[in-house]
Every structure is written in C-alpha cells, then in structure tokens.
C-alpha cells in the first residue's frame, strides 16, 4: 500500500531526491527531484457489437512499467559512492546470475513498482557548473503469475448518483433497441 500521503514531496522533499536500490541510497540526487514519468499500464481487449451501443472490456494484462532516472553528482565523495552503487545496476552473466533489484521511491511505490532490471546505463555527462549526470533506464521486474488474470467487469462499484440525479437508472437502451428490431422484423416477415 502506498504511503504517498505520509511521504508527500511537499513535507518530505528529501525522500524524493534519492532512490534506494537493494537498500542502498543513491549518491547525489535525482535530477530535478523527480523520476520522470513511469506509467502503470492496464491492457484491455475491447469487444464492440455490431449495431449495438457500448462494448465489453476484458482485462488482458498488466505489462511491466518502464522509466528513466537521471542521477546528479557534484562532489568527489558522490563519485566514489557511485563506484559502489553502479555494480547494483550491472549484469555479467559469466560471473553471477542475472537478478532483478529492489527499488524504492515514493512515486514508484504509489504505482506498485518495487523490483526492476536495468536496461541502459548512460555515461557521465557534464551538465555545467560542476554538475554531472548519469541516466539509467529501468524495466519493472514483474513475472507472470501462475494463474491467468483475464477478467471481464460485470458491474460497477455502485457509487451513489451525482448531486441532482434522482438515482433512477436510465432506460435500458439495448432492450429498447431489441424490442424495436423485433417489431420491425415481425412487420417485415408478416404476409
């Protein structure tokens, strides 16, 4: 469960300046104090009927989230800390098994990203004024579950009607259409 209310960036900006990878605090800060945009996607199959209103949506998958983090360093101590931090992001399958790493940042926690693999590591770039950045691309480690997660919603949550609405359900358009189609068919086939 997300703790965004408790670790919001207004009251806790220091928590948003760093990311923890395998429990290790990133050196320096995250550029501009944000991660860039990571999106949690939910894929749906949309089935539209011919000559009807609406559609049936079926949840088909929840792909891994992707994102980029740019780290900013400006002291010799931060570069030395980066030397210890960088091996957490590198893979050499000849020396060890390739594994995902745990990651923590309040914004990632809010969209349930807790484990990632590193897909790209950029070189050190001089930003000017003795600031240096390193950009790293991540892909969420999110193995498929043993059971299928395909699901078709069959009802709403039953939220109360908006203000000014009587709460009476609208006439069922599909039923009205079906009655009209049946009546027209009956008239067309009548002798």
Alpha-carbon distance 56 to 58, whole Å? 7
Give the residue from 144, 151, 149, 123 showing the smallest Cα distance to 135.
Answer: 123
pLDDT tens column, 9-56:
788 888 888 999 999 999 998 887 667 788 888 888 888 878 878 888
Classify residue 185: in a domain, yes or no.
yes
Classify residue 47: in a domain, yes or no.
yes
**CATH code, domain with 59:** 2.40.30.200
Q: Which residues are 50's β-sheet partners?
A: none
Give the domain extent around 135.
13-155+171-189
Per-residue pLDDT for 171 more than 60? Answer: no
The predicted pLDDT at position 161 comes to 59
Classify residue 18: in a domain, yes or no.
yes
Per-residue pLDDT for 6 more than 90? Answer: no
Alpha-carbon distance 117 to 139, whole Å? 5
pTM reported for the whole predicted model: 0.67
Classify residue 161: in a domain, yes or no.
no
């Amino acid at each position: 469960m997300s703790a965004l209310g408790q670790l919001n960036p207004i009251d806790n900006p220091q928590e948003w300046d760093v990311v923890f990878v395998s429990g290790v605090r990133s050196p320096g800060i995250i550029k501009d104090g944000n991660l860039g945009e990571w999106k949690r996607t939910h894929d749906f199959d949309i089935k539209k009927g011919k000559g009807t209103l609406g559609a049936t949506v079926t949840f088909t998958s929840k792909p891994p989230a992707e994102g980029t983090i740019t780290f900013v360093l400006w002291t010799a101590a931060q570069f030395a800390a980066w030397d210890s931090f960088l091996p957490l992001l590198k893979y050499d399958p000849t020396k060890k098994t390739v594994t995902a790493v745990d990651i923590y940042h309040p914004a990632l926690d809010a969209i349930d990203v807790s484990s990632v693999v590193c897909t790209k590591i950029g070189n050190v770039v001089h930003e000017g004024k003795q600031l240096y950045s390193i950009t790293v691309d991540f892909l969420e480690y999110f193995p498929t579950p043993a059971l299928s997660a395909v699901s078709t919603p069959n009802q709403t949550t039953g939220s109360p009607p908006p203000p000014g609405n009587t709460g009476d359900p609208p006439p069922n358009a599909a039923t009205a259409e079906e009655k009209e189609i049946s009546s027209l068919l009956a008239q067309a086939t009548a002798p």
